[in-house]
Every structure is written in structure tokens, then in C-alpha cells.
Amino acid sequence: MVENHFDKDKNCIFVKTRGKVNINDMNNAIEFLKNNPDLIGDLKILEDAIDVNVKFTRAEIDSIVHKMEDVASNFNSIKHAVVHNIALNTAFAYIAESKIKESKYELKVFNTLKAAKRWLGI
């Protein structure tokens, strides 16, 4: 399950991800970014994915990264902080981070919300 809350003043989407997350959930989240006219400029994303149960594969990471890079072209920049505490999820996030080629999209992995917020400047 993925829940989004947009704070217009901070130009930040606060995402809370819980339970099982599959490739369809990831694609829906990306579509939310793509189709929401309120999202502009230098977008920040704080994703709390603590204890999430990832149900997509390592091979599907390329597709996710490619779609995020496409979406990033609609913005000045996207800074995406994701917080994990399960080893597999953290590894998948690091793999995604290493595959990003689009300079407008920056993904960083954290183990605390406090550190993620500091990096985003919120």
C-alpha cells in the first residue's frame, strides 16, 4: 500500500509505503508524479518504506528507474529520499541509485527519517 501527501509549501511529497509493494504499485506511484499538475519545479520526495515487503524483482528495477528518469524530465529536479530498514529492500534501492543516469533525478537511501529529511532540507 502506498499513501501520498503533498505539501505545497515545501514542494514535497510525503510517501508512506506499507505491506507488500509490487511493480504495479511502483508504476502507479510514478503515474501519480507524471499526472499531477500541482507538482512542479524542484520536487522533493520523502518515502518512508520502513518494513515494506518488496514483491518486485531485481530485473524490474531497470524499468522503474527508466520510468522515474522519464518523469524527471518534466521537472527542474527530483530529490528522492527513501528510508529502508530491511537488507533486501536497501540493496534494491542501492541498485536503483547506481543505475540512474538522468541528472535531474537523484535517489538516496537512508536508514532514518531524520537523515532523509536533513538531506532534503525539510
Contact partners, residue 7, CB within 8 Å, separation at least 6: 13, 14
The pTM of the full predicted model, rounded to 2 decimals, is 0.92
The gap from C-alpha 48 to its chain's centroid, in whole angstroms, comes to: 9
**pLDDT tops 90 at residue 88:** no
Q: Domain ranges in the chain?
A: 2-116
Q: Write down the residue that cell numbers 522503474 correspond to.
A: 64
With 80 as the cut, is the pLDDT of residue 1 above it?
A: no
Write the pLDDT tens digit of every residue in 22-65. Answer: 999 999 999 999 999 999 999 999 999 998 999 999 889 999 99
The fold of 2-116 is Transcription Regulator spoIIAA (3.30.750)
CA 22 to chain centre: 14
Residue 114 CA to residue 40 CA, distance in Å, equals 25
Query: Nearest 5°: CA angle at 13, between 37 and 111?
Result: 155
